[in-house]
Amino acid sequence: MTCYDKILKIAQANNGIITTSQIEKNNLPRWYLSDMVRKEQIIRVARGIYTLPNGDYDNYYFFQLKNTKCIYSYTNALYFHGLTDRIPFQKEVTVYKGYNSSHFKDDTIVHYVKRNLYNIGISEKDTNFGNNVKVYDMERTICDLVKSRKDIDVEIFSKAVKQYATHKNRDYKKLKEYAKLFSIVESINDLLELL
C-alpha cells in the first residue's frame, strides 16, 4: 500500500476528513498532502485540515479542529441537544479567561469563564455529518442561559427551558449541583418551581 493509499484510507475512516496531525501519527511525510491537493485527490479546507473531494464541509467540526479549546455553548448547545428549533447563524463558544480569541471571525460569539468553571459539563455530540464535537451538556447550558438571562432572547429562553423540562435525559440533580458551582441556586430553584 502506497502512502497515498494510506492517506485516503485514513480519510475514509474519518468521514472523508484528514488532518496533518493524523498524518504525523501514522509516520507519513506531510508533503504527500500538498501533492494530493495539487493532484486534486483531496481539498485543503483550512491549515492542517483536508477533505476528500466528495466529502462534506462540516463547519462545526472544522472550527473545533482548529480551535480545540472552544466548547460549543448557549444557542449552539441548545441546537445540538434539540432544545431549540432555530438553526444558529453564528458559532457560539465558551473558552477560559485569558484565551486569545482575536483570530476568530465576526460570525463567532465568544463567552469567557473562569478556568475552574470551564470544564464543567463538557460532553460530546455528533454534528449533522456524523463528526464528534465538544459541547456543554444540557444542564450546563441551562445554567449559562439563566446566568445570562437578560441577554438571551425571551422566546429562545422559554422554549429551551420547556424542552429541557420534558426531555427524557434531563437531570435535575445535576442541574442543582451546577447551580451551586455557578452561584445561581435561587434562580434555578425559582425556575424549577415554575416547571
Give residue-wise pLDDT tens across range 54-81: 877 888 999 998 899 999 999 999 999 9
Average pLDDT over residues 136-151: 94
DSSP structure string for 16-67:
TEEEHHHHHHTT--THHHHHHHHTTSSEEEETTEEE-TT----HHHHHHHH-
Instruction: Give domain limits for the chain.
Output: 3-57, 63-194
Q: Which residues pair with 56 in a beta bridge?
A: none
d(CA 161, CA 165): 6
d(CA 34, CA 192): 55
In this structure, are residues 16 and 51 in contact, taking their beta carbons and an 8 Å threshold? yes
User: What pLDDT score was predicted for residue 15?
Assistant: 83
pTM: 0.84
Domain range 3-57, its CATH number among 3.30.1490.190, 3.30.70.20, 2.40.50.140, 1.10.10.10:
1.10.10.10
What does the pLDDT look like over 157-187, one tens digit per residue? 999 999 999 999 999 999 999 999 999 999 9
Strand arrangement, sheet containing 49-51: 17-19, 49-51, 43-46
What does the pLDDT look like over 86-132, one tens digit per residue? 888 899 999 999 999 888 877 899 999 999 999 999 999 999 888 99
